[in-house]
Amino acid sequence: MLTQTIRDENLNDERKPNLNSAFKYNLGRVISYTLLGGVIGSLGSIFSLSMKSQGIIQMLAAVFMILAGCKLFGLNLLKNSNFSLSIFKNRCSLKSNNPFLIGLLNGFMPCGALQTMQVYALSTGSFINGAFSMFIFALGTVPLMLGFGYISSKLSRTFSNKVLKYSGIFIIVLGLSMAQRGFSLTGINIPSISSLIASYSSELEVAPLVDGYQNVTLTANRYGYSISHTITPDSPIKLTLIADKLTSCNSQIYLPDYDEYIDLTQGDVIVEIPPTNKDISITCWMGMINTSIKIQ
């Protein structure tokens, strides 16, 4: 967005905000998102992606984002390769058709929120429903993007180049966050900062054994997931999932090791798990909230 709206200091114009470029860029995005949503929705009638497949896609996208962030910041990790981000180069011109074309290509960028909506479009199994969901999502992003385009069009090219450089750090952070979500969906439990703090702040007792089952409770609240006990590898587990305070993220739970998807919107759920000799990974459907039941 920044490359399409910054003004050219070599031109003797009145340096008015280039809202025309911002509008064309966003128009391209809306069209791209809508058409892709329809195509992806149609594919959903043929096949569906498993959670682990979604995790792998997110990890691949994360690699691209980290490389892109490093490239923007000036760290070329692939010096001997042809990896290039030509649309981010300073010579990116403000030709009348460029913003629209870049907006069209935006639908293929590795973006966490965009990919989540694309997966949702896939789940609709319909061209119309997939296109409509992505169209509404695109419209929701337009006001903020137009506002950013208005502000960035007032910046000098020198200052804009600095913004581009240090935005690479932000892209790297987003890439690492996406990688963590991908790991969670594939069953590789990499604890987040919040889960590390929780693990150090309290030591859990071993789950009580009732009728041959280890009773463990998971509570879904506004802070994420809370586990009541640790387990031993000797006995099966009866996991009670309590819907305390549900959000759009924590209401759908996924157990990667068992490829089991659990919906808490209908109320509390009890899941029986066979004996295991490793920690049980637990994540939300987006991979953003993750925890695990620890083996003692």
Using alpha carbons, select from 260, 291, 296 the residue that is nearest to residue 278: 296
Lowest-pLDDT choice from 21-30, 38-47, 131-140, 190-199: 190-199
For 87-123, what is each residue's pLDDT tens digit?
444 444 445 557 888 888 888 876 767 877 887 788 7
- Residue 280: the pLDDT is 93
Encoded tokens for 64: 């691209």
Question: Is residue 85 within 8 Å of residue 66, measured between CB atoms?
Answer: no
CA dist 262 → 37, 107, 219, 254, 282 (Å): 26, 30, 13, 6, 11
pLDDT of residue 69: 84
- pTM, full prediction: 0.62
pLDDT digits (tens, 9 = 90+) for 40-54: 999 887 877 777 887
Q: What is the pLDDT of residue 201?
A: 46
Q: What percent of the chain has pLDDT over 90?
A: 32
The residues of the chain that CATH labels 2.60.40.420 are 193-293
41 closest CA partner among 134, 115, 110? 134
Mean pLDDT score, 47-65: 80
For 206-257, write each residue's pLDDT tens digit.
999 999 999 999 999 988 899 999 999 999 999 999 999 998 889 989 999 8
- Tell me the CATH architecture of domain 193-293: Sandwich (2.60)
Are 192 and 254 in contact, with CB atoms under 8 Å apart? no
Residue 68 has φ and ψ, to the nearest 5°, of: -65, -40
